[in-house]
Amino acid sequence: MINELIIPKPDDMHLHLREGGMLKIVSQHSASQFGRAIIMPNLKKPITNTSLAHSYYDEIKKHTKSYQFKPLMTIYFNEGLALEELKKIEASSKIIGIKLYPKGVTTNSNKGLDSLQSGYNIFEMMEELDIPLLIHGEVNDTNVDIFDREKIFIEKHLIRAHKEFPKLRIVLEHISTKDATEFVKESSNKIAATITPQHLLYNRNELFLGGLRPHAFCLPVLKREEHRLAVLDAAISGNPKFFLGTDSAPHKRSEKESSCGCAGIYSALNAMEIYAEIFDRNNAIEKLENFCSKFGADFYKLNQSKEKLKLTRSKNKVPTVIKIDNGDVVPLMAGQDISWNCSNI
C-alpha cells in the first residue's frame, strides 16, 4: 500500500479566484497546494484584454507573496480580439490562453458568444499564433435539456470547429459526459480536457440526496452514473489528454442557498487531498502524479515544477464551512473524513 507520495508541485488548469476579499483568501488556499493555476476571466467585469489580465495577475501575486505560485492568466473571448491584441496575448509570459463562454451558460457569461461560428475569424488567428482556446462546452439553447447540453455542444459545434482549425489547441473544460471523453480520446493531440473532483465523485443523484443540495450544483451539471464512470475512467487511465482542473468556484453560502442558487463548487482548500482520495479509492494512486503535475504542463508547453508537494496517508477532515470575506463558503465534501494530507517540502 502506498502511504506517501512526493510529486512535482501540481498545476490546477481551471480555477476561479474571484476578486476583492474573496480573492485574498481563496488565492492562498490554491497557492498552498498548487505551483501554478489557470485563472478564469469571468469576473463581474470580465478580463477581456492583456492590460486587465496583467493587473489581475499583479493582484493575485500580491495576495500570494509567501508562496511560489504562478497565476496563468486567461482572456475572456470577445469579438473585439483583433490581431494586434492577440499578438500581445501571445507575447505575454503571464497569459496562457483565451477562454470562451457561450453566452449565458454559466456564472458571469452574459458577455459570451451566441454562436461559435462568429468566433471563427479569431480562431484562425489563434491557430496561427498557437494560442490555446479553452472552452466551456455547453450549448446555451435553453430548449435543450440541461443534461444534454455538453453532448449537443460537441456534436453541433466542437467537432466542426476542430475540423476547421485542426492545429488550434483546444481544452474542453470540466468534462461531465461519456460523450466528451470519447470525443477527446478520438480527436488529435490538439484536443485535451480538464476534470474536476466533483465530476469524479458524484452522479446527479447527489443533487437530490434527501432534499435539494445547492452545494452540489455546478455547471456542467452532474450527470448519470455511466457518465461519472466514463470521466473517472479517463482520469485514471494515464491518457495525457486528461488532466486536473478543479473548477473551484466559490460562491457565498447565502448565494448558493437561495431560490435561484449560483452554480459552482468550492474545492481549492483540500483539492489535492480530495483528488488523492478519489484516485486511491479507485486503486489508481500511482496515476495521480502525471494527471496533476505533468499532462497539463505538457499540453500547455510548460516545464514541470521543480518544487515538491508531499501527500501522506493520514486522517483528515474537510471543514464544514470556511470563513471568507464577510460570509461563509461550504466546500466540496464539507465535514467528511478523508485519508490524505498535503504538505510542502
Binding interface with ligand NCD (CB under 6 A): 16, 42, 106-107, 136, 218-219, 247, 249, 263-264
Cα dist from 63 to 50, 58, 219, 307, whole Å: 20, 9, 28, 20
Q: Residue 272 Cβ, how far from Zn ion at the closest point, in Å?
A: 18
Nearer to ligand NCD, 176 or 304 (CB): 176
Q: Residue 116 Cβ, how far from ligand NCD at the closest point, in Å?
A: 17
Pick one of 11, 85, 247, 280: the residue that binds Zn ion (CB under 5 A).
Answer: 247
* Residue 107 contacts which entry, Zn ion, ligand NCD, none (Cβ below 5-8 A, type-dependent): ligand NCD
Q: What is the C-alpha separation between 249 and 17, in angstroms, rounded?
A: 7
**Which residue number is nearest to ligand NCD in terms of Cβ?**
264
Q: Residue 306 Cβ, how far from ligand NCD at the closest point, in Å?
A: 30
**Catalytic residue set:** 247
* Residue 218 contacts which entry, ligand NCD, Zn ion, none (Cβ below 5-8 A, type-dependent): ligand NCD
Q: Is 159 helix (H, G, I), strand (E, B) or coil?
A: helix
Nearer to ligand NCD, 219 or 231 (CB): 219
**Taking the CA atoms of the chain, what radius of gyration do you get in angstroms?**
19
Q: What is the four-CA torsion angle of 219, 222, 228, 230, rounded to 10 degrees?
A: -50
* Residue 106 contacts which entry, ligand NCD, Zn ion, none (Cβ below 5-8 A, type-dependent): ligand NCD
Q: Residue 263 Cβ, how far from ligand NCD at the closest point, in Å?
A: 3
Nearer to Zn ion, 39 or 330 (CB): 39
* Residue 24 contacts which entry, ligand NCD, Zn ion, none (Cβ below 5-8 A, type-dependent): none
Nearer to ligand NCD, 78 or 107 (CB): 107
Contact 108, 44 (CB under 8 A): yes
In sequence order, the 6+-apart residues with CB closer than 8 A to the CB of 69 are 27, 30, 31, 34, 35, 36, 37, 60, 61
Q: Quick one: which of 237, 229, 258, 230 has its CA closest to 330?
A: 258
Cα dist from 339 to 80, 114, 203, 277, whole Å: 48, 44, 22, 6
Residues that bind Zn ion (CB under 5 A): 247
